[in-house]
A and B are shown apart, each in its own frame.
Chain A
């Protein structure tokens, strides 16, 4: 240990900070914390595993009911069954990317290093969306393979070229990526992990079901437009609920809602004290 401080180290100095610096910093941050790796691993493994178990159990009955000509549920609805867990993992990861920095005080280091808050938010969103998109597609493809293994044994398997299969694999990854950004926006807005997770899960997965109870056209439209309902359809080969928006229309609505939430969070982020 020494008290010399390497003054005049002649370090190269960028003439200004670019967005690439922020991207590189956020990428390093994301990969250097174990909880990220655990959450992402859980997303993939549990989603695929649950899908396998559910399809293993349901495939015989599904095949039987289809042979009777009256399937009790569309087969395609079972292919991405484990995505119900995966979406929670993606959302929580998004929340943590923002809220954990407030919990630890890291946000101050972040903003001291990158004073342009737009850069911070943009870099966080892009890195998170990119990572979750790639692992999301790995997950949806894995769920398809796992489900199809059991469905095919009963003779009710689906080919990649079948209606909606490829769309659900790609769209499912995109849905998880946007969902993670939804979590990030909420985490940044509320700055509190438990609060953001509670509010987010309730909005996405509870209120979406409750508004179905509202009678009339108002209830119908609210049900269609709630972020969880609108966004999740793209991730399913066939829907359990036929009264929701078409997959890509729904996804566009969900992406729009997420961008709006991100814009509000970003506006506040730029104005609030860190």
Chain B
């Protein structure tokens, strides 16, 4: 279990992580989703005791990382940067890690086998492909058979076979009852891998929810309708109890109604309609909407919605 309480990290005037609270439960995969620069890696580094919080705390099984009696037996981590010296062989990298935490050297062979690196065990890691480096990082994380695992962007730069392997591994680790915390900036990746979702943007938690709930809530489609009588039509549609928003181009976005129902309302009120269609929402869109205000750089800033909104997104 990982617990963050009012966790804050400041760099000068910049707040990278802003009074964040969350809990990562055992037995599930918890996805940590956010755009680049949202504070995911900073949070993970603080969990590992590498960076010091400016205030607040993040604990593992109730203890600060530095107070864990034998950390590699309790926590395994794959950090974003390849924290490996290229001149050392895979075997020796794992060997010094084993010795640092009183783990038998025999276990090194076991984890190398587990990640499929036995054949290159005695090769120096600077010649490894990205995927092999990632596997070595995972071997290091599993060395102490820990109950808590942190993976920072584990699928970055991997080929499809490597991605599928990591997904299976992550799922099976959680199925064994371990606490698995996985960061990513890809909603689609999280939708496949995670049971629970924590969304972070500009250092703040934007959502902390069951993945199925999130999908059910956000994959709802809406109806897009344009009309010269937009104000009147919006009033009529809202009068039916449907959620109506006005898009930037003046179109109305209606949630909770089918295109037929919207067309029928317009027809019975004798209002002209210039466009009427159903728009399927994707999870990626939901994520982009959720974090729209929190990404540091974006192509075009969205403007404010109309005051006709009866229910927010």
Interface on A for B, CB 8 Å cutoff?
A: 1-9, 11-17, 21-22, 24-26, 28-29, 32-35, 100-101, 104-116, 271, 273-274
| Given the contacts A6-B110, A32-B89, A104-B83, A14 and B176 also touching, CB distance less than 8 Å | no
Chain A residue numbers with a CB within 8 Å of B107 are 9, 11
Chain B residue numbers with a CB within 8 Å of A106 are 83-85
Q: How far is the CA of A16 from the CA of B45 in the complex (A)?
A: 22
Q: Which 9 residue pairs across A and B have the least CB separation, nearest first?
A: A25-B100, A1-B116, A32-B92, A273-B51, A28-B96, A14-B102, A105-B81, A113-B100, A109-B83
| Given the contacts A3-B172, A14-B102, A115-B68, A34 and B87 also touching, CB distance less than 8 Å | yes
Q: How far is the CA of A25 from the CA of B144 in the complex (A)?
A: 15
Segment with Cβ contacts to A, from B70-78, B199-207, B227-235, B246-254: B70-78
Q: Does B115 contact A (CB under 8 A)?
A: yes
Q: How far is the CA of A4 from the CA of B171 in the complex (A)?
A: 11
Q: CB < 8 Å: which of A7, A13, A111 contacts B50?
A: A111
Cβ contact within 8 Å between A109 and B84: yes
Cβ contact within 8 Å between B88 and A14: no
Cβ contact within 8 Å between A21 and B71: no
Q: How far is the CB of B186 from chain A (nearest CB, A)?
A: 21
Q: Does B165 contact A (CB under 8 A)?
A: yes
Q: How far is the CB of B117 from chain A (nearest CB, A)?
A: 9
Cβ contact within 8 Å between B96 and A29: yes
Chain A residue numbers with a CB within 8 Å of B82 are 104-105
Q: How far is the CB of B133 from chain A (nearest CB, A)?
A: 11
| Given the contacts A32-B96, A101-B85, A274 and B50 also touching, CB distance less than 8 Å | yes
| Given the contacts A6-B114, A16-B70, A33-B85, A111 and B96 also touching, CB distance less than 8 Å | no
- Size category of the binding interface on chain B: 35 or more
Q: How far is the CB of A107 from chain B (nearest CB, A)?
A: 8
Cβ contact within 8 Å between B50 and A112: yes
Cβ contact within 8 Å between A11 and B103: yes
Q: How far is the CA of A6 from the CA of B144 in the complex (A)?
A: 10
Q: How far is the CA of A116 from the CA of B115 in the complex (A)?
A: 29
Cβ contact within 8 Å between B172 and A13: no
Cβ contact within 8 Å between B100 and A114: yes
Beta-carbon contacts of B256-267 to A below 8 Å, as 1s and 0s? Answer: 000000000000
A-B contact count (CB 8 A): 146
Chain A residue numbers with a CB within 8 Å of B116 are 1
Q: Does B49 contact A (CB under 8 A)?
A: yes
Chain B residue numbers with a CB within 8 Å of A2 are 114
Q: CB < 8 Å: which of B48, B66, B102, B142 contacts A5?
A: B142
Q: How far is the CB of B198 from chain A (nearest CB, A)?
A: 22
Q: How far is the CA of A131 from the CA of B107 in the complex (A)?
A: 28
Please, could you name 9 A-B residue pairs with CB atoms under 8 Å apart, sorted by A?
Answer: A1-B116, A3-B169, A5-B173, A8-B145, A9-B145, A34-B87, A108-B79, A109-B79, A273-B51
| Given the contacts A16-B70, A33-B85, A11 and B142 also touching, CB distance less than 8 Å | no
Q: How far is the CB of B131 from chain A (nearest CB, A)?
A: 12
CB-nearest residue of chain A relative to B11? A273
Cβ contact within 8 Å between B165 and A11: no
Cβ contact within 8 Å between A11 and B173: no
Cβ contact within 8 Å between A113 and B97: yes
Q: Does B225 contact A (CB under 8 A)?
A: no
Q: How far is the CB of B87 from chain A (nearest CB, A)?
A: 5
Q: Does B104 contact A (CB under 8 A)?
A: yes
Q: Does B55 contact A (CB under 8 A)?
A: no
Cβ contact within 8 Å between A11 and B144: yes
Q: How far is the CB of A12 from chain B (nearest CB, A)?
A: 7
Q: Does B304 contact A (CB under 8 A)?
A: no
Q: Does B140 contact A (CB under 8 A)?
A: yes
| Given the contacts A1-B165, A32-B95, A108-B83, A11 and B172 also touching, CB distance less than 8 Å | no
Q: CB < 8 Å: which of B79, B87, B101 contacts A113?
A: B101
Q: How far is the CB of A240 from chain B (nearest CB, A)?
A: 38
Cβ contact within 8 Å between B73 and A13: yes
10 new A-B contacts at CB < 8 Å, known A108-B81, A112-B75: A3-B169, A3-B172, A9-B110, A13-B102, A25-B96, A28-B99, A32-B96, A104-B84, A113-B100, A114-B100
Q: Does B69 contact A (CB under 8 A)?
A: yes
Q: Does B65 contact A (CB under 8 A)?
A: yes
Cβ contact within 8 Å between B114 and A4: yes
Q: How far is the CA of A24 from the CA of B73 in the complex (A)?
A: 17
Cβ contact within 8 Å between B83 and A116: no
Q: How far is the CA of A274 from the CA of B49 in the complex (A)?
A: 9
Q: How far is the CA of A22 from the CA of B225 in the complex (A)?
A: 67
